[in-house]
Chains A and B, each alone.
Chain A
Amino acid sequence: MKPKNKGSIDYKRILLPFAGISAGLILGGIIIAMQGVNPFYAYYYLLYGAIGNKQSLISSLLKTIPLGIVGLAVIFSYKAGIFNIGGEGQFYLGAVGATLVGTMPLPIPALMHVLLCIVAAIVFGGLFALLPGYLKAYKGFNEIVITMLLNYVALLFTSLLLQGPMQEPGTFFNRSSLFVPTALLPAVFPGQRLHWGIGIFLVLALLLHVLYRYTTLGFRIENVGLNRRASRYSGENTKHLMLFSMIISGSIAGMAGAIEVMGVNGRLVENFISGVGYDGIAIALLANLNPLMSILAAFFFGALRNGASSMQIATGVSSSFVYIIQAMAVLSVITMPGIPRIMKKMKARRVKNHA
């Protein structure tokens, strides 16, 4: 994707995610109307279910956190020219790492314990991205296939652990023991479910924004992604930098896994989330690879999913319908930059037909 210049704000690029979301909602609305349901009615309940009251808003935010952080992970590798489809696997391994540390009672302060869990997740997620990163950067393998296959490895490996060494003693469920209290992510507001993962997400998005916009490291990473040969020409060790980006990408996804188990479930459960890696890709695309925009995109995804069931109960529109809206939004973002060209073509054709 294109980088931007400081100083000249490219409004088109910033508006694109907003436009995509609007287009997704409009197109979705048309399809709802075709089913004989008033789309405004359906969207009212969708919105109500998503942010209608404090509880529903919190639920939406809880769904936003893992999606958004994995979205950032996808952005990180993509900037260096690597398409990381393995967010899901890295997410699971991160969760495993956090669980290893988090279920262990340690004589340290709570904050330290939480940090230690996150560090473990970063290491696990990063290491799991090491292999595809190495094969891509140094050996020219196709990273898409490798990361996708590794997702299955990670998922099955987690299940294996949860049926064996990491299983909670004395149960038949495939789940780990509960985290010790010092290793749980604290709530933002006492008594509410919203945990500090939301803060971590926002800070991380801001950090990445600063990285790409203001720092030499971000400059170099984007150079590799934009033109690997020119980057090498300029004295860059592109292989190192690509591997680095992939590892960080895996670490971020791993961290998301840790935050999810530490903030929501308090333990690792088999198949506790599904599709988060792919959703991350969709969010990265919807955000047009802009870290700040990924906040908006992730919240859009989180809110849609959270509001879906109330829409279904009130109007009968199936809750899986929100996936159509999501897909429409992402497709809109991908296709919109080409629309002026298509319009021109159509105009040209009209003129020709008249002539």
Chain B
Amino acid sequence: MSEILVLKNITKAFPKVIANQDVNFSLQKGQVHALLGENGAGKTTLMNCVCGLYQQTSGEIFINNQAVRIDNCSQAVAHGIGMVHQHFMLVPELSVAENVILGLKREKDFFIKIEDVEREVAELSEKYHFGLNPKAFIKDLPVGMQQRVEILKVIYRQASIIILDEATAVLTPQESEELFHIVENLVKQEKSVILITHKLSEVMRLADQVTVLRDGKVVGTVSKEKTNERELAKMMVGRDVLFDFKRGKELEKSLKMNVENLTVIDTRGIEKIHQLSFSLYSGEILGVAGVDGNGQLELSEALTGMTTYHGGSITLADKTYKHMSTKESYRNGVSHIPQDRQHTGLIMERSLEKNMILADYWKKEFSSYGFLNQKSITKHAATLMQSFDIKASSPLARIRELSGGNQQKVILAREISRGPDILIAVQPTRGLDIGATEFVRQQLIDERDKGTAVLLISTELDEIMQVADRIAVLYKGEFMGILDRDCLDVHEIGLMMAGVRKKEMEGGYDEA
């Protein structure tokens, strides 16, 4: 077995942070090498140096034992390196085939025949079992499929080293499973894979080698056989992560939100939420489980005023809304952790501190007579950075410069620290390392203990089972049933996620 990629003493310094320091790393041909580390440990940055987005400040990169310089992405491609980024880089208005050739520079491609590309894409898709239609538009594809386009892009460029940055963070368990097969297939075709992930089960499942980074430095490299999840977690976080939550006693409940016959139709005319009714009480966490794409996004957006609903009503604080704006939702004490952090939850070009007051700028603390109170804005941000362990050079750092997980933490800190009456959280721990995941789940429980009504929409069943008091299962825009924490049955939830109603199950017993 030979070393296909070796990094020697790589250091990458940004003006205010050192993201990587003396990193040594080696990838064997035909293997999967997992790269682990907390949020902001420097995983993405290191790989960006390999794929030509950044240049290392010092250190060397060897490919097949040859020292190489990688100054830009096309050089990386020439060396057979391809990366699927944490946040996709696809053009939604273009087709799959068009996205695949986008940015490709080969002289003979000056006049491209799109039919040829479509044929090639179809062939590759066949070979790796991607099931992609080259003519489909990106904007019509679910995330899992979009990701396959990203992978296909890389394969099309004949990469032999494939880097996947948190590839499964946005995938459903089924889609993840399919991705694992794809990775196994890639390895069979003599390709080498670097896998960045926060999910240790994936590491144990796929990786041959594991390297753990902490604060930009390598903590160690181990082979999978010689380690286990617990040890890896400890290497990453420096302590045991047990997911052992403290929850307070149940409080007296009062109705906080009542949803009746909610119907949401999307822009293409498809009914995404169908006549949905439920109530949300103070001091509880209502978990909404279900396979992604069953109306989770639409439900959260309707409840927070981000989208209009076409039937039914939402009652907040004794007021019933047939239409609701984001402002009305906000003024009723609703906090919203949105599914899409970069386009919805944050203004990437603004500083961290300004993002912390995006909606709360008007509060006495942050402004008086229409003038921003700069000092207390900075102080507020610094406090939240501390309590949510957000890694950034200062409150003035631009959000764009933060690592993916730290961007997510900015939203969490802002929405939770507001002291909401109702907290609507969609995939709140997506992209967080396990230490931060544990912390955030405990925060959700603490909010509940304080009397907040929490609606947790998540496709991770583990997450919901750990924190929710009641669990609803969403299937094709309807609840298949709502279960109590005390009488949980994983098998039953599984059936409901596949579209079997709770009533039907009970009905079945009646007949028997």
* Interface positions of A (Cβ within 8 A of B): 2-3, 5-8, 214-217, 219-220, 223, 226-227, 229-237, 344-345, 347-348, 351-352
Name the B residues within 8 Å of A234 (CB-CB): 326, 330, 358-359
Q: Does B371 contact A (CB under 8 A)?
A: yes
Contact call B72/A227, Cβ cutoff below 8 A:
no
Contact call A7/B396, Cβ cutoff below 8 A:
yes
Name the A residues within 8 Å of B372 (CB-CB): 214-216, 219
Contact call B378/A220, Cβ cutoff below 8 A:
no
Contact call B370/A235, Cβ cutoff below 8 A:
no
Besides the known contacts A5-B351, A7-B378, A348-B72, 6 further A-B residue pairs in the complex with CB atoms under 8 A apart: A5-B354, A5-B396, A216-B362, A230-B344, A231-B347, A233-B306
- With known contacts A229-B343, A237-B327, A3–B71 Cβ distance under 8 A: no
Name the A residues within 8 Å of B329 (CB-CB): 235
Contact call A233/B345, Cβ cutoff below 8 A:
yes
Contact call B344/A2, Cβ cutoff below 8 A:
no
- With known contacts A217-B370, A226-B350, A227-B343, A235–B71 Cβ distance under 8 A: no
Name the B residues within 8 Å of A5 (CB-CB): 351, 353-354, 396
Contact call B345/A230, Cβ cutoff below 8 A:
yes
Tell me the bound Cα distance from A344 to B71 in angstroms: 8
Greatest chain A CB density within 10 A among B306, B336, B358, B396 is at B358
Q: Does B86 contact A (CB under 8 A)?
A: no
Task: Write the chain B residue with the least CB distance to A1.
Answer: B349
Please tell me which one of the listed residues A2, A3, A223, A348 contacts residue B358 in the complex, with CB atoms under 8 A apart: A223
**How many residue-residue contacts, CB under 8 A, span A and B?**
87
Q: List 20 A-B contacts (CB under 8 A).
A: A3-B350, A5-B353, A7-B378, A8-B396, A216-B361, A219-B354, A223-B350, A223-B358, A226-B350, A227-B343, A227-B348, A230-B345, A230-B346, A232-B326, A233-B306, A233-B336, A233-B358, A237-B327, A345-B71, A348-B71
- Shortest 5 CB-CB distances between A and B: which pairs? A348-B71, A235-B330, A234-B359, A234-B358, A235-B327
Name the A residues within 8 Å of B367 (CB-CB): 216
Total interface residues in chain B, CB < 8 Å = 36
Please tell me which one of the listed residues B325, B330, B331, B347 contacts residue A227 in the complex, with CB atoms under 8 A apart: B347
Tell me the bound Cα distance from A233 to B343 in angstroms: 10
Name the A residues within 8 Å of B327 (CB-CB): 235-237
Contact call B338/A233, Cβ cutoff below 8 A:
yes
Contact call A348/B75, Cβ cutoff below 8 A:
yes
Contact call A233/B326, Cβ cutoff below 8 A:
yes
Please tell me which one of the listed residues A7, A217, A348, A352 contacts residue B374 in the complex, with CB atoms under 8 A apart: A7
Tell me the bound Cα distance from A216 to B24 in angstroms: 48
- With known contacts A223-B358, A351-B71, A6–B374 Cβ distance under 8 A: yes
Q: Does B450 contact A (CB under 8 A)?
A: no
Name the A residues within 8 Å of B71 (CB-CB): 344-345, 347-348, 351
Task: Write the chain A residue with the least CB distance to B334.
Answer: A235
Contact call A215/B345, Cβ cutoff below 8 A:
no
Please tell me which one of the listed residues B304, B336, B348, B361 contacts residue A219 in the complex, with CB atoms under 8 A apart: B361
Name the A residues within 8 Å of B351 (CB-CB): 5
Name the A residues within 8 Å of B485 (CB-CB): none
Contact call A230/B358, Cβ cutoff below 8 A:
yes
Contact call A215/B370, Cβ cutoff below 8 A:
yes
Contact call B358/A214, Cβ cutoff below 8 A:
no
Chain B: minimal CB distance from A279 (Å): 28
Tell me the bound Cα distance from A105 to B87 in angstroms: 65
Task: Write the chain B residue with the least CB distance to A232.
Answer: B326
Q: Does B69 contact A (CB under 8 A)?
A: yes
Tell me the bound Cα distance from A44 to B338 in angstroms: 60
Name the A residues within 8 Å of B350 (CB-CB): 3, 223, 226
Q: Which of B314-365 contact A (CB under 8 A)?
A: 325-327, 329-331, 336, 338, 343-351, 353-354, 358-359, 361-362
Name the A residues within 8 Å of B349 (CB-CB): 2-3, 226-227
Please tell me which one of the listed residues B330, B343, B353 contacts residue A230 in the complex, with CB atoms under 8 A apart: B343
Please tell me which one of the listed residues B69, B338, B348 contacts residue A351 in the complex, with CB atoms under 8 A apart: B69
Task: Write the chain A residue with the least CB distance to B72.
Answer: A348
Chain A: minimal CB distance from B306 (Å): 6
Chain B: minimal CB distance from A333 (Å): 18
Name the B residues within 8 Å of A233 (CB-CB): 304, 306, 326, 336, 338, 344-345, 358
Chain B: minimal CB distance from A233 (Å): 5
Task: Write the chain A residue with the least CB distance to B360.
Answer: A234
Name the B residues within 8 Å of A3 (CB-CB): 349-350, 354
Chain B: minimal CB distance from A354 (Å): 11
Tell me the bound Cα distance from A19 to B256 in angstroms: 58
Tell me the bound Cα distance from A3 to B325 in angstroms: 27
Task: Write the chain A residue with the least CB distance to B301.
Answer: A233
Please tell me which one of the listed residues A7, A236, A344 contacts residue B326 in the complex, with CB atoms under 8 A apart: A236
Tell me the bound Cα distance from A215 to B374 in angstroms: 10
- With known contacts A5-B396, A8-B396, A235–B331 Cβ distance under 8 A: yes
Task: Write the chain B residue with the least CB distance to A352.
Answer: B75
Name the B residues within 8 Å of A235 (CB-CB): 325-327, 329-331, 359
Name the B residues within 8 Å of A223 (CB-CB): 347, 350, 358
Tell me the bound Cα distance from A217 to B362 in angstroms: 10
Name the B residues within 8 Å of A216 (CB-CB): 361-362, 367, 370-372
Tell me the bound Cα distance from A226 to B75 in angstroms: 32
Task: Write the chain B residue with the least CB distance to A341.
Answer: B72
Greatest chain B CB density within 10 A among A2, A232, A235, A345 is at A235
Task: Write the chain B residue with the least CB distance to A347.
Answer: B71
Chain B: minimal CB distance from A355 (Å): 8
Task: Write the chain B residue with the least CB distance to A213.
Answer: B372
Contact call A230/B347, Cβ cutoff below 8 A:
yes
Name the B residues within 8 Å of A8 (CB-CB): 396
Name the A residues within 8 Å of B336 (CB-CB): 233
Task: Write the chain B residue with the least CB distance to A223.
Answer: B347
Name the B residues within 8 Å of A231 (CB-CB): 347
Tell me the bound Cα distance from A351 to B338 in angstroms: 45
Tell me the bound Cα distance from A344 to B344 in angstroms: 33
Greatest chain B CB density within 10 A among A2, A230, A351 is at A230
Name the B residues within 8 Å of A219 (CB-CB): 354, 361, 372
Greatest chain B CB density within 10 A among A7, A231, A232, A234 is at A234
- With known contacts A223-B358, A233-B326, A215–B371 Cβ distance under 8 A: yes
Chain A: minimal CB distance from B392 (Å): 13
Tell me the bound Cα distance from A160 to B344 in angstroms: 48
Tell me the bound Cα distance from A276 to B304 in angstroms: 44
Name the B residues within 8 Å of A229 (CB-CB): 343-344
Tell me the bound Cα distance from A233 to B359 in angstroms: 8
Chain B: minimal CB distance from A143 (Å): 20
Chain A: minimal CB distance from B356 (Å): 11
Tell me the bound Cα distance from A352 to B347 in angstroms: 38
Chain A: minimal CB distance from B189 (Å): 29
Name the B residues within 8 Å of A348 (CB-CB): 69, 71-72, 75
Name the B residues within 8 Å of A214 (CB-CB): 371-372, 374
Please tell me which one of the listed residues B325, B353, B361 contacts residue A220 in the complex, with CB atoms under 8 A apart: B361
Task: Write the chain B residue with the least CB distance to A235.
Answer: B330
Name the B residues within 8 Å of A227 (CB-CB): 343, 346-349
Name the A residues within 8 Å of B374 (CB-CB): 6-7, 214
Q: Which of B56-71 contact A (CB under 8 A)?
A: 69, 71
Tell me the bound Cα distance from A182 to B224 in angstroms: 89
Task: Write the chain B residue with the least CB distance to A355.
Answer: B69
Tell me the bound Cα distance from A5 to B331 in angstroms: 28
Task: Write the chain A residue with the least CB distance to B358.
Answer: A234
Chain A: minimal CB distance from B487 (Å): 37
